[in-house]
Structure 1
Amino acid sequence: MKKIKSTFAVIALTVFTSIAAFAQLQTPSLSPASSVSQVVGFTKINIDYSSPGVKGRKIFGEIEKYGVTWRAGANAQTIIEFSTPVSVGGQNLRAGKYSIFITPTESGDWTVHLNKKAESVFAYMVDGKIDEAAVAKDDAVSLKGKTERGGSTERLTYTISAGDNKTAMISMAWENIKVTFPVDTQVDQKLEQFKSQF
């Protein structure tokens, strides 16, 4: 009888432990975290984002409406960080973190926003939607991105091209759209500043 009780206790403990372990197991994220970084000139550029899939849906024009500002990723905000000052769209930006927002349009004239509130995407939410006027008010810079249609990208992906090692081309590709904008890492200006110190 003792042996039966002992066996039963071992089985019960094994089942309980298995259930507890299974409860702690998390399913994979539908929009897994991703990041890309590249040194261009003297500047390290890093982008942290979540990467949703198309999964047979119509993304732009339906899931992400035309004319409505979007957080350019999923889950939390998409963050771009510059290790040194840079210039975007002819405007100087300090080193630091910025949120990326994008406003898609049917005509293909998409606006890229680099926003000063890098940690506060949900501060812009009103009734489940992004308050576009509030985003624009806090933009460090906004510019028209170069938009290309064609191809197919299942998972939202950011890339950084070093190009001539002075200007970086930042691209966001998803579904059949690619939006690109340049970042001037101001290599020549930084060299001149360095020389002027001697």
Structure 2
Amino acid sequence: MKNTKTLFFALAFFMAATFSAFAQLQSPAPSPAASVSQVVGFTKINIDYSSPAVKGRKIFGEIEKYGVTWRAGANNQTIIEFSTPVSVGGKNLRAGKYSIFMTPIESGDWMVHLNSKAASVFAYMKDGKIDEEAVAKDDAVAFKGMTTRGGKTERLQYHISAEDNKIAKITMAWEGVMVSFMVDTQVDQKMEGFKSVF
């Protein structure tokens, strides 16, 4: 009888522990976190983003409206970080973190914004809409990204290529669109500065 009670309690404890473990198990995130990094010249470039899938939907022009600034990813803001000063869109930027926003355009090149506060695009919501003037005010730089159309990328992804190991090419691809921009890591200027010290 004692063994039966012990077995019963052991079985009950096992079932409770198993149920608790299953209750804590969560399903995978629909837009999983992703990151990509590359050293170009003397600069480490890192991009942290979330990667949504198309899932048969029309993304640009319907879910993400043309002419409305978008977070260029999902969930939290997409963050690009430079370990040294760089030049982007013809403007010198300090080392640090910036959030990437994009403004989809139906035809022609999309606008790319690097936000100086590394803020979320939703920080610029006013009366249920993105306040484009407030976005522009906090742009560290805004410029037209090289936009190509065609093909299909199911899950949003970013790529960094080292080009000539002085200039980095950053590309965002999703659905049937690729938007690229160049980051000058200012290797020559840094070498000149190094030489002038000696």
Q: TM-score under structure 2 normalisation?
A: 0.95
Deviations 1:75-118 (A, max 9, x none): 00000000000001110000000000000011232100000111
Instruction: Report SS of the residue matched to 2:164.
Output: coil
CA apart distance, 1:123: 2.3
How far is 1:19 from its partner?
1.2
Aligned identity (percent) is: 76
Q: Which residue of 2 aligns with 1:53?
A: 53
- Looking at structure 2, the residues matched to 21 and 119 of structure 1 have their Cα atoms a distance apart, in angstroms, of 36
Which has the larger displacement, 18-27 or 45-54?
18-27
Number of equivalent positions: 198
Match of 2:92, SS state, is strand
Cα displacement string for residues 15-74 of structure 1 (whole angstroms, at most 9, x for unaligned residues): 211111011111111001100001111111000000000111111101111001000000
Question: Distance between the aligned counterparts of 1:45 and 1:55, measured in 2?
Answer: 30
> Which structure 2 residues correspond to residues 143-182 of structure 1 after superposition, within 5 A?
143-182=143-182
Following the alignment from structure 2 to structure 1, what is the Cα–Cα distance between the partners of residues 16 and 127? 42
Q: Tell me by how many angstroms 1:120 deviates.
A: 4.3
Q: Is the 8 A contact 2:42 2:84 kept in 1?
A: yes
Cα RMSD, aligned residues only: 1.4
- Measured after TM superposition, the shift of residue 6 of structure 1 is 2.6
Q: 1:127: Cα distance to partner?
A: 5.1
User: Does the 8 Å contact 1:167/1:184 carry over to 2?
Assistant: yes
3-state DSSP class of the match of 1:14? helix
CA contact (8 A) 2:89 2:141 kept: yes
Q: Is contact 1:145–1:179 with CA below 8 Å preserved after alignment?
A: yes
Given that 2:102 and 2:110 are in contact with CA atoms closer than 8 Å, whether structure 1 keeps it comes out as yes
**Alignment correspondent of 1:26:** 26
Residue in structure 2 matched with residue 134 of structure 1 by the alignment: 134
Q: Secondary structure at the match of 2:68?
A: coil
* Contact 1:145–1:180 (8 Å) recurs in 2: yes
8 Å Cα contact 2:116/2:139 also seen in 1: yes
Q: Contact (CA 8 Å) 1:76, 1:121: kept in 2 or not?
A: no
Matched, 1:85 2:78: no
Gaps of 5+ in 1: none
Distance 2:52 2:125 in 1: 20
| Aligned counterpart, 1:12 | 12
TM-score where L is the length of structure 1: 0.95
Corresponding residue of 2:75: 75
SS of alignment partner, residue 97 of structure 1: strand
AA in 2 matched with 1:114:
L
Residues 76, 120 of structure 2: 8 Å contact kept: no
